[in-house]
Structure 1
Amino acid sequence: PDPRRDPASGALPPPVPPAGATAIQQAAAGGPTVSPSDLVAAEPPRAIVGDFVPDEVLVTVEGNAVQQIATSFGLEVRSQRRSQLLGATLVRFGVPDGRPVGVVLAQLAADGRTLRREPNHIYSLQQAATIVNYAFERIALDAKEASGENVRIAVIDTAIDDTNPALSGVIADQFDAMPEVPIAARDHGTSIDGLIAGVGALKGMAPGARIYHARAFEGGKSTMGVILAALDWAAEQDVRIINMSFVGPKNDLLGVACRNARALGIVLVAAAGNNGPKAPYGYPAAFDGVIAVTATDAKDGLMQQANRGAYVFLSAPGVEMVAPSGAGSDVVTGTSFAAAIVTGAIANLLHAAPDRSVDWVEKALAATARDLGPKGRDNDFGYGLLNIEAAEAAKE
């Protein structure tokens, strides 16, 4: 008989943690029960910028320690999956006891089993509520010759109305990153897909392109965890371009995913944002390697409510354009739709020469854009208005 066994209960005592063990190590070893509020933080509580889910954190973990981490820190495992773009297991932990997210992130930093720790930020679609599509003329793209035939494009947006005639034969596949949320709106995603590759009366910039559509928004909102799931699915479809017509705060997990998607040879296009000249930078547009698009009108004037900043890369039509919607068609305004115009235009470049790299695309668009503001790149228009005819003629 083991002399340590309790004669009454027959149970062995819990393992003894090493001398000087932290509260986290004691809890993990089955030692004294530690209140989560007493856990030692490895860094000061984080000041979190932007909206986020108040009782969740996103953590990347290597290995099989997810449940142990949850137990050690008084958290709930709400979801977990292996992320291709993050190269680790992405875990959505719930915080059931009301601790501030910034405190939980600081506490988790003390555990070497966690790789990255971020809030579950909230992102918003970039549509300004407000006639033939004037975009072809403004970006120097011949509507009769426009084609994105067989170019694979991912769109992360709302659900779509795939019965709209403009999307007939356009959608190659769909993925629902939030299946537990009922679908109420389909307009925004339908407009984006239609502007990129619509057919018939509402012809898009790149007819013939194959759209891989991920639903990740409802009520104009989504969370970082949902968006990352959509991005992973998009990367698995071997797409050449990803359109992200949404904006939110800076999040390191999103930055890593974008950087790794670009390393796979995917061109990333994002809306610069509709939150006004004094708004903070909008992400993912403001990450390096993402083409941030602002919106101009039929006279090449800047959309008044557009974000400004050094991250703005390119201008494209996005004010009062006719686009497909869940109800048939609508007049739309926003940097969301300007991003779709740029995505479709890039599909034309890749259709003409499939071997063109991400670097080539970015350099060609920057070098050939028509300057609209102060000489050179500026915070309002970026390099200027997209000129697809000139970009097509750029040297390889």
Structure 2
Amino acid sequence: MATSALLPFGDGSDRVRADQWHLGFLRTAEAHQLSQGEGIVVAVPDTGVEAHPDLEKNLLPGMDVIPGGSGDGRRDANSHGTGMAGLIASHGRGGNRGALGVAPKSKVLPIFDTPANGLGKPDDLAASIEYATAQHADVISISAASTPTPRLKSAIESALEANIVVVAAVGNMPSETSISYPASEQGVIAVGGSDRQGNKAEFSIEGTDVDILAPAVDIYTTSLAGRYRRSTGTSDATAIVAGAAALIRSKYPDLPAQEVAHRLTATAVDKGPPGRDDQYGYGVIDLVAALTADVPPLGFESSDVTPPASAEAAPDKDGDSSSTARGLATLGVLVAAGGGYLFWRRRRRADDPPPRVSR
């Protein structure tokens, strides 16, 4: 679901934060004054998660659902799972050293369900989701594209019924040609990718099930052996949205999962044609608005309440990348929440003037 490259400079901990352009774009410093994901567990079914120095304090013991792991999900021979977990919950190394996640005080529940070659099986993903549900995870972040086997469909439905926010990737062209499962499932937040300017990334799959977009190009995150990777794909966008869901669940602990999804989509910055469209869904994620806007519950319509304006893209640093990543034939990135909900207000245009919002 992504292309990636291992960065060549030392351990990179003194440089990587400046390269994480998506943090400025998302205004994470402002968002972290409101919530850092305290008390929230995000399940990451993937290639396992290595205990990277920037992440290890937030890494719980998990589970292997296939042979070849360490037994607790904390082994990764691919780097994909470690990268996704880092985008969600990296805590860095103090000051501005090391990678920082969107929800740096949340916990990651690692689940090893995909071998190092990146080719997993749908029912292994199903077993991961069943385990995450049994462990009472608050969010499940699935950066994989799969096929809807009966067991996988049942696992997703059970997770949603258990009040878990399920987030999944829509997939990347040309490896996928239509929105992947479980992103296409009703109730799952289907995440596409945006570029540094907040425009839809060319590779991000389009379709009627797209819910929201998040940064997905040149995303710097944790990798193997204490190093870092730069990757591009909807996998990264999914992990970012999963981190956003963790921030919301921490700040609003009594909010049901579908209301968390509603808050994300209702406060997104509308791009493309006015209203929901197949390229952007309901728009590009706005962390600060999602944490501060007065969002009426589902089923109520309003055009009077509008969240804060979204962030501008932050300055960035370029680097080279190579095409080594998780080429999942049966799995894909997942940030889930809902496609069939009523939305409470007119979609806000990206060029609207900044409105005032009660905090």
Q: 1:203 aligns with which of 91, 97, 100?
A: 100
2:15 counterpart of 1:127: no
Whose Rg is larger?
1
1:156 paired residue number = 45
TM-score relative to the length of structure 2 = 0.71
1:167 paired residue number = 55
Amino acid in the other structure paired with 2:85: D
> Aligned equivalents of 1:165 and 1:154: distance in 2?
19
CA contact (8 A) 1:161 1:326 kept: yes
Q: CA deviation at 1:179?
A: 1.6
2:231 counterpart of 1:356: no
2:223 counterpart of 1:320: no
Distance 1:203 1:181, change over 3 A: closer
2:238 paired residue number = 339
Partner-residue secondary structure (3-state), 1:244: strand
CA contact (8 A) 1:209 1:347 kept: yes
Distance 1:167 1:127, change over 3 A: same
Structure 1: 5+ residue runs without aligned partners?
1-125
Q: CA deviation at 1:180?
A: 4.7
CA contact (8 A) 1:135 1:341 kept: no
CA contact (8 A) 1:152 1:209 kept: yes
Higher strand share: 1
Deviations 1:344-391 (A, max 9, x none): 011111111111111211221121110111111111111110112112
> Aligned equivalents of 1:336 and 1:369: distance in 2?
19
CA contact (8 A) 2:207 2:278 kept: yes
1:251 paired residue number = 149
Q: CA deviation at 1:137?
A: 2.9
Matches within 5 A, 1:1-396: 126-129=1-4, 131-141=18-28, 142=30, 144-145=32-33, 146-162=35-51, 164-180=52-68, 185-200=77-92, 201-218=98-115, 219-276=117-174, 279-327=177-225, 328-392=227-291, 393-395=293-295
Deviates more, 1:349-358 or 1:183-192: 183-192
Partner-residue secondary structure (3-state), 1:309: coil
CA contact (8 A) 2:245 2:261 kept: no
Partner-residue secondary structure (3-state), 2:284: coil
Q: CA deviation at 1:395?
A: 2.9
CA contact (8 A) 1:132 1:322 kept: yes
Percentage of pairs with the same residue = 31
Larger RCO (CA within 8 A; separation ≥ 6): 2
> Aligned equivalents of 2:168 and 2:290: distance in 1?
19
How many residues align structurally? 270
Structure 2: 5+ residue runs without aligned partners?
6-17, 93-97, 297-359
